Amino acid sequence: MTTRMLSGHHHTLGAHWDGEGVNFALFSAHAEAVELCLYDVTGQTETARYTLPEKTHEVWHGYLSGLDPGAVYGYRVYGPYNPQAGHRFNHHKLLLDPYARQLIGEFRWNDAHFGYRRDDPEEDLSFDTRDNAPFMPKCVVTAPSVFADDTRPKKPDVSWSQTVIYETHVRGFTLQHPDVPELARGKFAGLGHPKIIAYLKALGITSVELLPVQAFSDEHFVYEKGLRNYWGYNTSSFFAPHTAYLNENDAAEFRHMVDNFHQAGLEVLLDVVYNHTSESNRLGPTMSFRGIDNASYYRLQAENPRYYVNDTGCGNTLNVSHPRVLQLVMDSLRYWSSDMGVDGFRFDLAPVMGREPKGFNPRASFFQAIAQDPQLSRIKLIAEPWDIGPGGYQLGNFPAPWSEWNDDYRDTVRRFWRREPGQLPTLARRLHGSGDIFERSGRRPYASVNFITSHDGFTLRDLVSYQQRHNSANGENNNDGHRENLSENFGVEGPTDDAAIETARRRQQRNLLATLLVSQGTPMILAGDELGRSQQGNNNAYCQDNELNWIDWPSLGKHSEDLNAFVTLLLKLRADYRILSHPSYIHPPHRPESYDIKWLNSDGLEMREEHWQEHHSFLLGYLLTGPHDEQSRVTLLVIFNNSTQQQEFQLPDYQAESGESALCWRWLVDTIQERGIPERPSAASGEKLNIDERSVAILGCNKDIRFAQGTSND
């Protein structure tokens, strides 16, 4: 290796090997000098230190010939330590390269990470000279990507209208799976194992959404309680995969997992956190961005730059309005989409990405950058449409082609099934794909990502078993997590030996799942809900890296198998009856050959205005009809009965031709049954059915439905 650093170039940020050496480039507008520190292969011993010799357009850069992939490094950045002016440079702190594609070692908490002296009365106005390098992970130079090889499986390119999302966690999903090799459990290799992929394919989902896999660390307050950040929403590196999910500490392991999913026709979506970083507020650690250029990377309070804008609730907010920070996010997204093969992203606290000085703007620079990008504009983009900043709730306001987590859907369905009065009109809108929220801006039903549960909150099993949160294990005196869960425990809080309560809870899980999977829009299932997984009433299990979060595969019994079979049945139904996932909003037709949607009362006739005003009615028919020239699977009827007793429902009539059988209606799903498989014979047009209390009945007919009277509400 040469002992002299050459000037190199500023064009490509990060560390890039060209076959003869490595070019290093780091953006910092306000730094006075930048040192590159090289380490041995273990990352424990510093072997050399070089000053980057050039600064071009606010990018510090240098070139070392003879340096190869696998080289380990970090940065020390010199500049003013003046928090009141927004600057927090401290060259005593080893920093991660924001563009590092691989890390070695783990972040270990130590007071040396703080840029100030924690025992000083002036807090962050003081200056700490301890070296944090022994406790920091280090960056690793990687070889140029070889992932563009044409022999790799092509992306499945699942249409939005056919997408079914399965939200899961790399570690928790496989850590206790007996068919996954022990060394692969809890890793990318385990999630990409053939047994896991076969399970997901058999279930019927199309797209796996992974909780954060970009390198993250534990928050200090979590560490002090002896807990771990399990979910991963505390990102420290936007390019490097989380090292704990790697077997051989090779970033290519992630791409191999993605290739396995693609080979099976399944998509991989990533939950990404570009709204804040792991450096927290002014009293947080100095790990990367804060020490490289605090005033550029973060949004600071204009009246006092010592303090951070905290629209995220996590202590800081990334300054995506800055062109270099926007470039960082865009480069990161392109890397994961192209080099790593990812099919789409779900953006945590997404309003942050569009917030400008006057508030949220759907035409903010970030959204425009995405829209004009030939690669990113074609993949799946999902927003979590809320944060805690001013005007932070933005459901329905993201631009096309974005989709959004629809918490209004979640809450409406929960309210209906726990028998809150007056829910029928809103329930119909949510079943319709929330056109009242999304269609007004010209967007499609799949813009609504419908969900009953997610990683944040109760699992489905807990939703029907607990009235209150039980978060004491989190060490916050049960004060964290959502206070109101719109849940129902059926008379007993938590586990019970009462057979009647258990039966009611299992049926309610089926009711909720059935509602989700017959709704227009994009359904999302929380991993383990199809197995009845419980978190013992913890609705904020972000810090529980233990059996509370891990799926206990060895202990699954008959009820888990039954529920899994039920979800499989529903997903097959959704795939067979494409009218359930129509790519456009369905309205009463102007032409006979059009698709149609109708809302029915117990007489099998269209709901009238007075029916919608019956606040204590819990019976609704949902009828979908396809073009008349289709030969089969054109008409679907879903009957929701959340009454406390059996209700009579008259099936719609149709115009029978001479000699035609009247037994049009065939039972497809009945949530009374543990596996949803009906035990009822076909029914005749116009026949009156007894629909059991608190259940969902789904029937299909391939005839032309005729209505003699009634008006449509849609």
* Residues recognised as catalytic: 348, 384
- Show the tokens assigned to 133: 């390098």
* Cα–Cα distance for residue pair 295/30, rounded to 1 Å: 8
Counts for the chain of helices (H) and strands (E), in that order:
15, 30
- Show the tokens assigned to 598: 């109708």
* Cα–Cα distance for residue pair 671/511, rounded to 1 Å: 6
With b meaning 16 or more CB within 10 Å and e meaning fewer, what string describes 261-289? bbeeebbbbbbbbbbbbbbbebebbbbbb
Beta carbons within 10 angstroms of residue 187's beta carbon: 25
* Cα–Cα distance for residue pair 442/668, rounded to 1 Å: 33
DSSP state of 431: H
CA atoms within 13 A on the CB side of 278: 28
- Show the tokens assigned to 608: 């009238």
DSSP state of 294: H
Alpha-carbon 676 to chain mean position: 28
Residue closest to 86 by CA, chosen among 264, 395, 369, 305? 305
Strands of the sheet containing 138-140, edge to edge, are 46-51, 33-39, 72-78, 138-140, 103-104
Q: Terminus-to-terminus CA distance in the chain, angstroms? A: 73
Spatial contact of 600 and 638, defined as CB atoms under 8 Å apart: no
CA atoms within 13 A on the CB side of 80: 9
Beta carbons within 10 angstroms of residue 178's beta carbon: 9
